Amino acid sequence: MKFTIYVNQQKAVDLGIKSINQAHIFDLLTGLSTWAETQIIDGDVFYWVSRQKISEELQLLNLKPDTVYRHLKALSEIQLIEYTKLGVKDCVRLTEKGKSYYVGNKSEQGKPTMSEIDPSFTPNSDLNPSKLGNRSEIHSDLNPTYTTTNNIKLPVISKNKRARTEPTEEEVNQFQTEKGLNLSGFFDYYESNGWMVGKNKMKKWKASARGWSNRQATFGGQRKKNIQDENNEAFDQARVLLFGSKS
């Protein structure tokens, strides 16, 4: 099956093609030498275009063999192909008019590539039949096993590669030393909660680390004062019990 179907609509209309199905059949015929069997008739090169083969290549068009035959005859009548019979075989070759299908319209294709979209650039197409039998015949959608399209190696992402953006414990310790911060408990706390700040993922851990250090300085000093006050009060109570007075 032809993987990609394409029609140069403006050129097809200019050449007298009457329908979209007829245009797709003719577009397929412009690459005859890449898929059809060569037949020599009276010294001229023709190609055997099996009606069933055309139906299979253009599967979405749901063409019957008799419909394919009528389109071949129509393309012959508007002088885009030469059509003849060799026994029971339908044999076709492009006329000079047929070979003009893409001429003057390459700019519509963008950068030229060796593909079925513009067979005039293919080293072995019916628009350039000088290299029949060249190995370049396999470079087409009719042979998708060609290595440049089917065996592209994608980058492998290592399972061991660190996918997270959070710091390591070593990075936290280094930052603490460099900036003279108090980050006691910082890594363990955020590592345990998935580096979340409330309901949001932490975006800038260094900024959070500075805030942690500031809170340690503020609330750490207050905790020390509270502990000292509690110790003093307990001492006073003990003195009252022992001596009946704080003095």
Question: Residues 176, 188, 182, CA angle at the centre, nearest 5°?
Answer: 25
C-alpha span between 159 and 207 (Å, rounded): 29
User: According to the model, what pLDDT value does residue 110 have?
Assistant: 43
Nearest in space to 35 (alpha carbons), one of 117, 100, 149, 116: 116
pLDDT above 60 for 67: yes
Percent of the chain surpassing pLDDT 70? 63
The secondary element (H helix, E strand) that includes residue 45 is strand 44-48
Most confident region among 94-98, 99-103, 241-245 by mean pLDDT: 94-98
Cβ 140 vs Cβ 35: under 8 Å: yes
Verify that 55 and 136 share a domain, yes or no: yes
Domain range for residue 187? 169-243
Average pLDDT score over the chain: 77
> Are the C-beta atoms of residues 122 and 34 closer than 8 Å to each other?
yes
What is residue 40's predicted lDDT score, i.e. its pLDDT? 95
Q: What mean pLDDT comes out for the span 179-183?
A: 92
Predicted local distance difference test score (pLDDT) of residue 139: 47
- Out of 90, 108, 143, a domain closes at 143
Confidence (pLDDT) at 136: 44
Residues 135 and 217 in one domain: no
Q: Given a cut of 90, is residue 72 above it in pLDDT?
A: yes
Question: What's the CATH code of the domain at 113?
Answer: 1.10.10.10
Residue 49, amino acid: V
Asked whether 93 and 32 are in contact (CB, 8 A), the reply is: yes
- Quick one: 13 and 67 in the same domain? yes
Q: Which of 143, 158, 186 delimits the end of a domain?
A: 143
230 within some domain: yes
For 108, half-sphere exposure in the C-beta direction (CA atoms, 13 angstrom radius) is 13
Cα separation, 168 vs 201, whole angstroms: 16
Last residue within a domain, chosen from 143, 159, 187: 143
Q: What distances in angstroms separate CA 172 from CA 87, 201, 215, 218, 230, one per listed residue?
A: 85, 17, 17, 20, 34
Residues 109 and 201 both lie in one domain: no
Stated length of the chain: 247
> For residue 146, what pLDDT band results from cuts at 50, 70 and 90?
very low
Do 134 and 182 lie in one domain? The reply is: no
Does residue 92 lie within any of the structural domains?
yes
212-229 core/surface letters (b: 16 or more CB in 10 A; e: else) = bbeebeeeeeeeeeeeee
Cα–Cα distance, 235 to 166 (Å, whole number):
47
Tell me whether residue 130 is in a domain.
yes
3-class secondary structure, 63:
coil
Express as a percent the part of the chain with pLDDT over 90.
Answer: 44
Three-state DSSP class for 114? Answer: coil
Residue range 7-20: average pLDDT? 92
Position 111 pLDDT exceeds 70: no
The pLDDT of residue 176 is 94
Is the predicted pLDDT of residue 226 greater than 70, yes or no?
A: no
Q: CA-CA distance, 157 to 169, in Å (whole number)? A: 24
Residue 113 in this model has a pLDDT that exceeds 80: no
Lowest mean pLDDT among 33-42, 169-178, 228-237: 228-237
Same domain, residue pair 59 and 133? yes
**174, 91: one domain:** no
Average pLDDT over residues 17-44: 91
Residue 80's φ and ψ, nearest 5 degrees, are -95, -25
Q: Of 93, 125, 111, 105, nearest to 11 (Cα)? A: 105
Full-model pTM: 0.43
Parallel/antiparallel/unpaired status of strands 44-48 and 196-197: unpaired
